[in-house]
Amino acid sequence: MKFKLHTKVQSGLEQINIAPLVDVIFQLLIFFMLTSSFALPSSIEVKLPKAITSDVVKEENVAITITSENVIYLNNKIITTKELRKELSKPSNKKRPLLIKADRRSSVGRVVDIWDLCRELGIERINIATDQEK
């Protein structure tokens, strides 16, 4: 019995199959697209004014945030001035200290309006958030 000798020596693959590579790349692309769309912003971005004489407040506060576009947030929810008056007039909110976080580019008039509203409702402990200068 005579066997045929293979005269052609295989020195590697003649053609690379890239179909599995394309599948893996496509799966990774879908994964990153889905996970990036579920990322929620952690908080409202406010650049606080700097002050040398700021203190650290350790109590739980009712937080009012005023952005640079003069949009008002109460505990990270957008709110109007009328709704803010209703929320702050509740007895549970009157006892807690109030923290106003105003962006340094927000109008002073808006901050004063909120301050006056709080004083009118009988809230005595009002704080303004600042960053400490270094």
What does the pLDDT look like over 54-74, one tens digit per residue? 566 666 778 888 988 888 998
**67 occurs within a structural domain:** yes
Residue 12: predicted pLDDT: 58
Q: Is residue 41 part of a domain?
A: no
Round to whole Å and give the CA distance between 122 and 10: 90
On whether residue 5 sits in a domain, the answer given is no
What's CA 41's distance to the chain center, in Å?
3
The reply to whether 126 falls in a domain is: yes
| Helix H or strand E segment including 34 | helix 19-37
Q: Which residues pair with 121 in a beta bridge?
A: none
Residue 32 CA: distances (Å) to CA of 18, 22, 41, 80, 116: 21, 15, 17, 37, 48
Quote the CA–CA distance of 43 and 77 in Å, as a whole number: 10
| Total of domains in the chain | 1
Please report whether residue 19 resides in a domain.
Answer: no
Q: Which residues span the domain enclosing 125?
A: 50-132
pLDDT over 80 at 117, yes or no: yes
Question: Which CATH number covers residue 89?
Answer: 3.30.420.270
Confidence grade of residue 43 (pLDDT, cut at 50, 70, 90): low
Residue 43 domain-assigned? no
